[in-house]
């Protein structure tokens, strides 16, 4: 893989991620250890069986009470993050990890992804938010902007609002 020639300051994003990981020891929030170098992050996750998207389609299907339990855990995880002034930024079924015991963990805090996306150019959306290529969108509408009428920038992980996470929870 060739190093990126972009103007993104990785050190600023990494510093923000490290400071968030230090205070994320709340309800069901998985702060993954990672290996880093100048161009690549390798996230490690342990003891997880499925993500929520895969689990919803796997037999035996979840009972109604199990779905409520997962939802409760997600609400507590987001509440824990928001109480520490951390906004996830990319809540979707692929970022909810499920253990064999039925515990749900919120992972992949999206502060390295662009806060705002141009509404007329889906390339950033596909790159950062549609890894599964299912064309589903859990992003709050205020994150999309018209480049011709606004001076918004990508602002990676900054200016995220708690309401954006609530929208993503559904």
- Given 9, 37, 90, 130, the catalytic residue: 90
Report whether 88 contacts 165 (CB < 8 A): yes
Angle of the 162-169 helix axis to the 64-83 helix axis, nearest 10: 170
Outline where DSSP puts E strands in 63-167. Answer: 96-98, 104-106, 117-118, 144-145
Our answer to whether residue 159 is catalytic in this structure is: no
- The residues that are catalytic are 90
């Amino acid at each position: 893989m060739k190093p990126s020639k972009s103007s993104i300051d990785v050190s600023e994003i990494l510093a923000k991620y490290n400071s968030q990981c230090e205070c994320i020891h709340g309800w069901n929030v998985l702060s993954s250890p990672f290996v880093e170098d100048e161009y690549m992050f390798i996230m490690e996750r342990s003891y997880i069986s499925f993500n929520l998207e895969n689990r919803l389609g796997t037999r035996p299907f979840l009972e109604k009470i199990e779905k409520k339990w997962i939802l409760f855990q997600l609400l507590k995880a987001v509440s824990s993050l928001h109480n520490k002034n951390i906004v996830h930024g990319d809540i979707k079924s692929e970022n909810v990890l499920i253990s064999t015991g039925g515990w749900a963990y919120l992972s992949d805090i999206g502060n390295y992804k662009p806060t705002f996306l141009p509404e007329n150019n889906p390339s950033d959306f596909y790159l950062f938010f549609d890894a599964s290529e299912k064309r589903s969108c859990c992003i709050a509408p205020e994150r999309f902007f018209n480049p011709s009428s606004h001076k918004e920038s990508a602002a990676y992980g900054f200016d995220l609002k708690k309401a954006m996470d609530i929208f993503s929870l559904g």
